[in-house]
Amino acid sequence: MTAAEGKLGLDPEVVRTARRLAERAAQPVIELARTHSTVSVERAVVRLAGITGADAEGIPWVNRLVDSVRDQVGLEYGVALPVWAALATGDYPGLTALAREAAAGGVTFRLPTGHAAERARRASLRAVAGGVARVDANRRQREEMIAGLGDPPKPWIYLIVATGDIYEDMPQAQAAAREGADIVAVIRSTGQSLLDYVPEGATREGYAGTYATQENFRLMRTALDEVSAELGRYVRLTNYASGLCMPEIATLAGMERLDMMLNDSMYGIIFRDINPQRTFIDQRFSRQVHARAGIVINTGEDNYLTTADAVDAAHTVIVSQLLNEHFGHEAGLADWQLGLGHAFEINPSLPDQFRLELAHAQLVRELFPDAPLKYMPPTKHMDGDVFFGYLLDAFFNLVGTITGQGIILVGMMTEGIVTPFLSDRDLALKNVRYVRDACGSLAEDFHPPRDGVIATRARQVLSESIDLLGRICDDGLLDAIAAGTFGITKRPATGGKGLDGVVAQAAGYYNPATEILEGRAHDEVQDELS
């Protein structure tokens, strides 16, 4: 469905103007990301080459290795050349052994030149290509499993499972799938986004979530593969590629066949106070990995409406979605991978609230017709009245069905009281299934009058979005974030956590992962990638 074929009477030229302005607003930030790197980007490079494990204090060897390089020669030229030059000149069986020796102070890293630099470049490229080949193989396996098992109809039902203990999460996830969940999200332990390392191994403790680790990813993917075969439909797995380790978590997700990742360009900035420059640099690399892995990203615009008013700030959601779309496309993501987020968060006491929700949801659907939109349930106005909460969730499910959303996160009637029990999830899933099945193809019959409240409100929000994008083009996106434009939270470009991990690329900077992901190294690594 194009804008011209839509139900709201949107002017196609107005829509094109909005996208042109979003491209202009995003360009300076994209240039920043292209010309800078971070410690997490460099760690992701080494992770693709196969390094695993951690020291006795739980700090991953990849952190020890990259920190040693940074301390001795800096990261302006990337980590690959110094690391693979050291491997070539020392008696090290692999990266982990090199990292152990480096952590003990036994390795002198140098930036190689001449033939030594060329050997290091080729060796690092081959090693990283092995990791990319694993990502490619996982993508093929997912496609084959979907072709063999079948795909559930949309909207996909998305449900969160996270006890803190991965071994408790797995049976709960399987139970959720049996009750109708199409996507299982393992929410991260509170505070992990602020850790500048990714924990190793399976974890059995976490606060309000479970740690995102490579082993936890593997365990949950295995559990969902088992239940997928049992149910005859592919059950997708989601986790969170955000925070200070966004590039690494994205890489581990690709290596363990996750299907979706929370990956938003501004969520970490606004809600976790992570430095804006660090975030935009990390998100570009992480999205390049997602693009290669065939992973669908979920963006976080719904969160703006938990701090700002859902009516007054509706246009900031559209602006952020347009920016996320352009950032995603520039990194290589296709439309089918853009799970742009929005939410049902208008105050239920507001007259005509349901019509306004329809207007906002239909506007997003028409602006991004090929994106698998992720629609979030009410949270801000869930007050502990479980009966009203259950009704409000039903209205949310109804809007999602009428407007053809692609992914519906299951709302919980106990949202304002406790972490949901299995019985709460069961009731919530019944709510979604009933509304979805009862409505059928109701979206086909939904045609609001062109001069009615719904269509008029949608066009108003789009107009306000264009006005805001124009101001962002004039002032700059980083300044707009600093002014509290999104989520009413002010985050200056030089503030927050992680700026010390940002480095400007020197003229001879080399990153074998981006060489492959951006298509500049295909002929050199064909054997590894095939």
Q: Are 392 and 348 in contact (CB under 8 A)?
A: yes
The per-residue DSSP string of 419-486 comes to SPPHHHHHHHHHHHHHHHHHHTTGGGG----TTSHHHHHHHHHHHHHHHHHHHHHHH-HHHHHHTTTT
Question: Which residues, in sequence order, are bridge partners of residue 504?
Answer: 36
Compute φ and ψ for 146, nearest 5 degrees: -65, -40
Q: Are 300 and 262 in contact (CB under 8 A)?
A: yes
Q: DSSP assignment, residue 210? A: B
Question: Is residue 374 annotated as a catalytic residue, yes or no?
Answer: yes
Q: Are 189 and 164 in contact (CB under 8 A)?
A: yes
Q: State CA 309 to chain mean position distance.
A: 24
Burial 367-397 (b: 16+ CB within 10 A, else e): bbeebbbbbbbbbbbbeeebeebbebbbbbb
At 373 the three-state DSSP class reads coil
User: Which residue blocks in 331-421 are alpha helix, DSSP H?
Assistant: 353-367, 386-402
Question: Is residue 7 annotated as a catalytic residue, yes or no?
Answer: no
Given the residues 7, 136, 259, 374, select the one marked as catalytic: 374
**Two tokens, residue 505:** 């690329």
Q: Exposed (0-12), middle (13-18) or buried (19+): which is 519, by Cβ within 10 Å?
A: exposed
Question: Is residue 380 annotated as a catalytic residue, yes or no?
Answer: no
- By C-alpha distance, which of 93, 102, 88 is closest to 60? 102
Given the residues 136, 302, 393, 424, select the one marked as catalytic: 302
Rounded to 10 deg, the angle between the 422-439 and 166-178 helix axes is 30
**Two tokens, residue 394:** 């039903």
Given the residues 197, 267, 375, 510, select the one marked as catalytic: 267
The catalytic residue positions are 267, 302, 374
